[in-house]
Amino acid sequence: MVWPAVQSKANVDQSTDDPKLARSDFADNVDKFNQLQAHVSSFAQGLLDDADAAAARITLGAASTLRSVQVYVSGTPTWTKPTDLAFIVVQVVGGGGGGGGSSSSNFKIGGGGGGGGYATELLAESALSGTEAVTVGAAGAKGTTSTSGGAGGASSFGSLLSATGGGGGIEGGTGGSPAASGIGSGGDLNLAGQRGGRSGGDTRGITNGFGGAAGGGLGAGGVPDFNTAGEDGQGHGGGGAGGHRDSGSRAGGDGGIGLVIVWEYF
């Protein structure tokens, strides 16, 4: 808003010898005062007309600030839109896939689970319902000593953005392709996780069976080791490592559970 300039006049005082000049200057200043009063009234009415505090801050030219963060790490909770909200930033991570087990023969390793996908989006208050359903992707179950790992579950925020879970690692005696990664969708930024390491033959070098990292860097994949069960996926959405067999059967590692974060600005 541009405020009207009110100029002071040095020759306006009650001791002037020219009554006509004094009356003229007084009338001019009254007019300037009336203009200023009109601008103030208009500005104040704009604040009264704003529907909420967020709109009032826009009228005032004030920046929105982060006031609260909602973190969801399990299940299907519900997010409720707060009063006076300006906008939110949402992050979703799919669950990591479980690592495959290994039991068929010596020096076999199960495949690592794929990392969960990632998506993030900035959403204005007007784009949001009063409540939004939240889904946190389940962790992919580890493969037992003779089975493949399970896929991770998808995470979502309403119907606005989501991220699929990573695929399960294949059982070590079977061999095959790396487990698929999850991928984000619907966000301003959508990222895929990392594929899981292959299953099959592996000696003491342990070059296969690594779990895939989650998209967005919020979870790391499990690391396999010689003749041990696979390590679980780390953080949120990391894939579990495959189990490595030398002298005994070994299970894979569980995937990391998904994640939904809502950053609330007012």
pLDDT score recorded for residue 249: 85
Asked if the structure places residue 32 within a domain, the reply is yes
Residues 32 and 109 in one domain: no
Asked if the structure places residue 103 within a domain, the reply is yes
Percentage of the chain exceeding pLDDT 90: 61
Asked if the structure places residue 111 within a domain, the reply is yes
Residues in the chain: 266
Rounded to the nearest angstrom, the gap between the alpha carbon of residue 202 and the centroid of all alpha carbons in its chain is 37
Residue 246's domain comprises: 64-266
Residues 122 and 186 in one domain: yes
Q: pLDDT tens, 167-199?
A: 999 998 776 789 999 999 999 999 999 999 988
Residues 176 and 250 in one domain: yes
Q: Name the residue among 68, 179, 159, 66 with its Cα closest to residue 119.
A: 159
Q: Name the residue among 217, 72, 233, 254 with its Cα closest to residue 156.
A: 72
Asked if the structure places residue 5 within a domain, the reply is no
Q: Name the residue among 201, 220, 196, 174 with its Cα closest to residue 99.
A: 196
Indicate the helix (H) or strand (E) that contains 72: strand 66-72
Average pLDDT, the chain: 84
Vertex 44 angle, CA 25 and 29, to 5°: 0
Residues 68 and 42 in one domain: no
Answer yes or no: are the C-beta atoms of 251 and 97 closer than 8 Å.
no
